[in-house]
Amino acid sequence: MEIFCRAANELGLSREEIAAALMKSLEGRSLRNVLIIPPDYTRFHSNSGLITNIYYHALVDMGCEVDILPALGTHVPVTEAEAKHMFGDIPYEKFLSHNWRTDVMKIGEVPAEYLEEITEGLWHDAVDVEINRRVMDEKYDLIISVGQVVPHEVIGMANHAKNLFVGVGGADMINKSHMVGAVYGMERMMGKDHTPVRKVFDYALTHFLKDRPILFVLTVTTAPAGNIRTHGLFIGEERSALEAAIALAQEKNIDFVDTGIKKCVVYLTPEEFHSTWLGNKSVYRTRMAIADGGELLVLAPGIERFGEDEQVDKLIRKYGYKGRINTLEQFEKPENQDLRDNMGAAAHLIHGSSDGRFTITYAVKDITKEEIESVGFQAADYEEMARRYDPEKLAYGYNTLPDGEEIYFIPNPALGLWINKEKF
């Protein structure tokens, strides 16, 4: 079954149109137990909260038992307040927490020879395919994987099998897939399909989950002024749903600028961004648009830590965002086993640096200037920067300040990818 819905105008699909498509996807199914795997609160603007809520109530009305397993990856569990804000009136006890270190089972392996082939010889190790045990639980008649297709620094375009193998996957897949992307080069992949990391997930899905009843429900959204617009909804078991969503996301979520941006100001909403692990989307998604010698200023009032968990936070503090070459050198040193054991963190350190091509300044409230600078960023006072670059007054795109300074403002970097036409 394939159900592809595209909005007739820029306002996006209505709630009624979304609900009708979801109901159609359940027609003819005899269901008793259903597992829904939506993204977590960091993907609030995916509109997956509404979709999960509609599915939940429809399935309960059909007499189903429904469990919800947010695709946390390495993120912290969804709080009760976040669950209510994103998913509405679904009882909090229905939300299960995924632990990427302890809740998984190995179901296969992507062979080393295949990795060498798809990375042009840049990666030589096999990858264990691990998944949350609930995905393999035979009691579930249907597994609904919900999420947004959007440009992504590790895989090219997010979601589909990534929601499973990273969102509710295990350490080896998370770590090695991130490192494969970092070694291959994010700028070779962002905004594209059929990247090496995507091929790893496609291989794992085809070989090891082909007998599981998985239905993918993919959105393409934007959120001007924080208002979610769902431009497309793509539902199906086959890869064609992903390909249709990618085509639309490339149209809606990639912005080309005519020339390199000299100063880019990004605002991170305090509700969504609490760590540089997440906040560095401001680096990933703008790096292809910022001019050599340019500046990136990140206004981040909610950032209070570096990593999403204590172990990763310590690694970021220890090694810092010091550039690709430096990180790879540290990675190869025998004494740095802690970094080798956390390849996802190593990849993140590479992604979060501009390699000296442009400056990155974080303006935060709850981390000291000394701490920010110790990990390789520049630091600025949040209140001072917010007065000069007031996110409530700036318009998306180019702005000229009263003193003549020209900046490019992005209110939420998680929803797009920005590229300089001159270098694409």
Q: Which of 416, 418, 415, 417 is closest to 42 using CA atoms? A: 415
pLDDT in tens, 26-41: 999 999 999 999 999 9
Whether residue 363 contacts residue 276, with contact meaning beta carbons closer than 8 Å, is answered with no
Which pLDDT does position 111 carry in this prediction? 98
CA–CA separation, 206 vs 359, rounded Å? 42
Superfamily of domain 2-252: LarA, N-terminal domain (3.40.50.11440)
Q: Which fold has domain 255-423?
A: 2-enoyl-CoA Hydratase; Chain A, domain 1 (3.90.226)
Position 407 confidence tier, pLDDT thresholds 50, 70, 90: very high
Would you put residue 21 in left (φ > 0), alpha (ψ -120 to 50) or beta?
Answer: alpha
pLDDT at 76 over 90: no
pLDDT at 79 over 80: yes
pTM over 0.85: yes
Average pLDDT for 265-286: 95
pLDDT at 414 over 90: no
3-class DSSP state of 139 = coil
Position 96 confidence tier, pLDDT thresholds 50, 70, 90: very high
AA identity, residue 191: G
pLDDT at 350 over 80: yes
Where does CATH 3.90.226.30 sit in the chain? Answer: 255-423
Average pLDDT for 368-376: 98
Q: Which residues of 98-132 are buried (b: 16+ CB within 10 A; e: fewer)?
A: bebeebbeebebbeeebbeebbeeebeeebbbbbb
CA–CA separation, 164 vs 11, rounded Å? 30
Which pLDDT does position 163 carry in this prediction? 97
pLDDT in tens, 212-260: 999 999 999 999 888 999 999 999 999 999 999 999 999 999 999 999 9
Which pLDDT does position 225 carry in this prediction? 81
Position 42 confidence tier, pLDDT thresholds 50, 70, 90: confident
- Read off φ and ψ for residue 264, nearest 5 degrees: -115, 130
Q: Which of 179, 161, 184 is closest to 239 using CA atoms? A: 161
Mean model confidence pLDDT for the chain:
96
Where does CATH 3.40.50.11440 sit in the chain? Answer: 2-252
Position 344 confidence tier, pLDDT thresholds 50, 70, 90: confident
